Amino acid sequence: MALLALALGTPALAQDLSTMDLEDLMEIEVTTVSKQARRMGESPAAVTVLTQDDIRRSGALSLPELLRGVPGLHVAQIDATHWSVSSRGFSDEFSNKLLVMVDGRSIYAPIFSGVLWNEHDLMLEDIERIEVVRGPGGTLWGANAVNGVIHIKTKPAAETQGVLTSLQAGSYEKANVAGRYGHAFGDRAHMRVYGKFADRDDFESPVRGSADDDWQSVRTGGRFDWRPTDSSMLTLQGDYYESDVDRVLVGAGASTEDNDGANVLLRLSHAFSDTSEVSLQGFWDRTGREQGLVEEDRDTFDVELQHSFSPLARNFVVWGAGYRTSSDDIDGSIGLNFSGSSRTDELYSFFVQDEITILPNLLALTVGTKLEDNDYTGLEVQPSGRLLFTPTEKHVFWGAVSRAVRTPSRVEDDVMFFQPTGPTTFQSVTGSHDVDSEDLLAYELGFRSTPHPRVNMDVALFWNDYDHLRSTEPYATVPNSPFPGATTQLARLDNELSGDSYGAEFAGMVRLTDWLRLSGTYTFTRLELSPTSASNDVTSEDMEGMTPRHQFGIRSQVDLPWDLELDTALFWVDRLQGQGVSSYTRVDARLAWQPMDGVELSIVGLNLAEEHTEFPNGTLTQASKVPRSVYGSIRWDVDWNLE
Amino acid sequence: MSRRARTDARAIGLALCVWLAGLLLASPPAGSTPDEYQVKAAFLLNFARLVEWPQKAMAADRPIVVSVLGSQEVRDSIAAGIGDAVIGEHPVEVQRIDSASEIGGSHILFVTRERAQEPAEIFRTARRHAALVVGESEGFAESGGTINFFTEDRKLRFEINPDAAKASGLKISSRLLRLAVLVGEER
């Protein structure tokens, strides 16, 4: 009750302010340290933010395609329905060192700690921003945030009022139809509901005709925001989806897969003051996957409490605690099976972080740690220290040392995987309960600068020291198995790889004139991994080769007269060494016209330069060629409300 | 790992919770400094008093419209700061807008720092509608905004770009100019 009174106490002060003149107002001290409102330039980490405007002007129609061109990331499309998205190396069909969230809900699949991007065909118009943090985020976000965190935030319901209709159709996008309706209940409560359907065509296979990898998805959901007082907020949101995904499995042929899922999230937050805020969030997430080799049903329940406050002058503390339980039910096959058809894993976590202003407006130190107790490896400690140095308002330097771990997933503990490696050779890989967490000690340095109001630049350097990386250890060969004349190699998973990765990421933006904006990115990433002397692992060179050493990107956004926009992007990605994937250039272009407020007509060409493959065959997914494609789009946003 | 390690983890977690709860209870009552945006709202009222709009943009006994390009939170905070202030015979209305296309009818456009990445279109539209564009981001006035807030020793200050005011057809009183840091447009 006391807190409520405090919150209601502020308008009285406001009345006094509104009659004050400028000279008096200029003597008032204000506090601007809000965690949300923090300017990007002030965070001691390598951060890139994609706004709704960037999303719209990119012409991309899926989440992974949007992430192309973010420095430090490597986005490779394996076939029409599968992507490898990785940060600072370790690209893989099952890349697993990245945490991805939508509105605070983790969307990586706990079975292998990676994201199945074709399950998350979001309504892109409703995304407010995508925050990409490269480097370890383990202190705040916990395990799996080893090499980066991608946080997709949808717009508050108040910002999606009225009716939006969006239609796209073209050579690859056969039909992409989305609609949304937003409604206001007075000034303090807003809601939206949306629906989306997409039908996408096959790509071409590098060896024969159609790659048999088309994709249909349906998704619907909504969000309700209620602000009972000026300083408190309740959000209830949820989604339901079904996707029908085809692909060709390596060594097993065409596979038709049905995925479905649903989630509900409730979040309550209250701000006691500018510097003190508490939020409580709970979500339930259900996924069902019927894939060629394995069927999985999973329920995850997660609850988290977070509190930020300023206990002493110059200190800003954020702490939180969480609990997660995830239960699965798995039905495998000869090719892919799991020991134990169902399993429930629990996770307890706690974190605390203090941002200490050592010298106001000059030097700040952020120290913190996460403690996490999981069912696979027990207690994991992930501390970090970050230093922010702001000698002038225009230049920011930062440095960080952090420890992060990737805890084993269900696959590494329990998998039994059997696959042909040639006409008469087979491999059988099994997981192990002795598999330990992968460890990372990361050193980062960064520099951000606004040398001129129209120029921004951002440089980040990192050196990552890995230990106990996952290895595959062959230990026996069985003759005349599974049939006479054939041999099967037996292997188990272990932690016998270690090594370094290092790299540099550069991003620059110039607003040459009011109507022309140019931006460029360059990413250098190098991995040097090797097995320990006790190991027989042969995967480390492939692991190194799957990440391109060099990536360039250039983007231009031009505002033409007559309400036209012309946007072009060019990406160059280095070859994947030893993987049979050569370097490629990708060109995207978009021309849009806004004949009246709220209406946008556009024509978009994607990958106009050359048909190419971006990734080798994965363990499961056979690679396809990414085709040239063109589509037309209509978006119509009307301010209309049911009364 | 062992049961023992798990029990330890929970014990450490619990101890830290207790310690933090103690810190929290011991911390001084928060909320002693006013909300940043309520103070900015009071500045906006003063700007409205000291700026003269062209005749066509300001009809008699019509309200002065303050549009916030930013989040609902900021709009609410600014609306709370303005309360039911009246300037001359004009009441003051606060609304939230989502894009440059909604600027029409606004007298003051406040662009929050989250929305200041793409100001070119905003400036163009605002000039057409003779709106006073106020920002709170570094370089905002130099790149074409009329007024820009910044902080100095935790106190609010503002810069004015007189060329931008002229281009929008706004007349700024000398009293306001005296208190501001004047900046020029960088081309």
Kindly state the average pLDDT of the residues A604-625.
Answer: 88
Tokens describing residue B43: 């500045």
Place of tokens 């406050």: A309
Kindly state the average pLDDT of the residues A300-328.
Answer: 89
Q: Does A393 touch chain B (CB under 8 A)?
A: yes
Angle between helices B72-82 and A2-18 (to 10 degrees): 60
Q: Which residue in B118, B135, B158, B138 sits closest to A453, CA to CA? A: B138
- The residues near A570 (Cβ < 8 Å, ≥ 6 apart) are A553, A554, A555, A585, A586, A587, A609
Banded model confidence at residue B104, pLDDT cuts 50, 70, 90? confident
Tally Cβ neighbours within 10 Å of residue B184.
11
**Interface contact flag, B72 A158, Cβ < 8 Å:** yes
Kindly state the average pLDDT of the residues A506-530.
Answer: 90
Ranges A138-142, A543-547, A569-573, B87-91: which has the least confidence: A138-142
Q: What's the confidence (pLDDT) of residue A241?
A: 95
Q: What's the confidence (pLDDT) of residue A30?
A: 63
Average pLDDT of chain B, as a whole number: 80
**Interface contact flag, B33 A352, Cβ < 8 Å:** no
**pLDDT tens figures, A117-171:** 988 999 999 998 888 889 888 677 766 788 998 989 999 888 888 899 999 999 9
**Interface contact flag, B154 A514, Cβ < 8 Å:** no
Percent of chain B past pLDDT 90, that is, above it, reads 21
**pLDDT tens figures, A477-501:** 888 888 888 899 988 888 889 999 9
Kindly list the distances between the CA atom of residue A593 and the CA atoms of A34, A74, A165, A262, A566, in Å, as whole numbers in the listed order. Answer: 38, 31, 16, 36, 9
Kindly state the average pLDDT of the residues A518-534.
Answer: 91
CB pairs < 8 Å spanning A and B? 182
Q: Measure CB to CB from residue B120 to each of A372, A373, A559 and give the nearest one.
A: A559
Q: What's the confidence (pLDDT) of residue A66?
A: 93
**pLDDT tens figures, B152-185:** 767 788 999 998 998 888 999 888 888 888 888 6
Average pLDDT of chain A, as a whole number: 86
The residue among A641 and B41 whose pLDDT is bigger is B41
Please spell the DSSP secondary structure of A198-241, one letter per residue.
Answer: EEE---B-SSSSB----EEEEEEEEEEEE-SSTTEEEEEEEEEE
Kindly state the average pLDDT of the residues A396-402.
Answer: 91
Q: What's the confidence (pLDDT) of residue B18?
A: 54
Q: What's the confidence (pLDDT) of residue A540?
A: 83
Task: Answer yes or no: is pLDDT of A39 > 50.
Answer: no
The residue among A410 and A207 whose pLDDT is bigger is A410
The Cα–Cα gap between A391 and B181 comes to 21
Q: Which residues, listed in sequence order, are joined to residue A32 by a DSSP beta bridge?
A: none
Ranges A219-223, A405-409, B13-17, B98-102: which has the least confidence: B13-17
Percent of chain A past pLDDT 90, that is, above it, reads 38
**pLDDT tens figures, A60-118:** 999 999 999 899 999 999 988 899 999 998 988 888 888 999 998 999 888 888 888 98
Q: What's the confidence (pLDDT) of residue A3?
A: 29
Closest Cα in chain A, distance from residue B13 (Å): 6
Q: Which residue in A361, A373, A351, A355 sits closest to A306, CA to CA? A: A351
Neighbour-count burial of A6, counting CB atoms closer than 10 A to its CB (0-12 exposed, 13-18 middle, 19+ buried): middle
Best of A16, A17, A34, A407 to substitute, by most chain B Cβ atoms within 10 angstroms, is A17
Q: Measure CB to CB from residue B151 to each of A20, A32, A309 and give the nearest one.
A: A32
Tokens describing residue A163: 């009716």
The Cα–Cα gap between A550 and A573 comes to 6
Kindly state the average pLDDT of the residues A573-586.
Answer: 89
Cα torsion B87, B93, B96, B102: sign: negative
Q: What's the confidence (pLDDT) of residue A4?
A: 29
The Cα–Cα gap between B34 and A14 comes to 8
| Burial call B116-152: b when 16+ CB within 10 Å, e when fewer | bbbbbbbbebbbeebbbbbbbbbbbbbbbbbbbbbee
The Cα–Cα gap between A193 and A180 comes to 6
Q: Does B138 touch chain A (CB under 8 A)?
A: yes
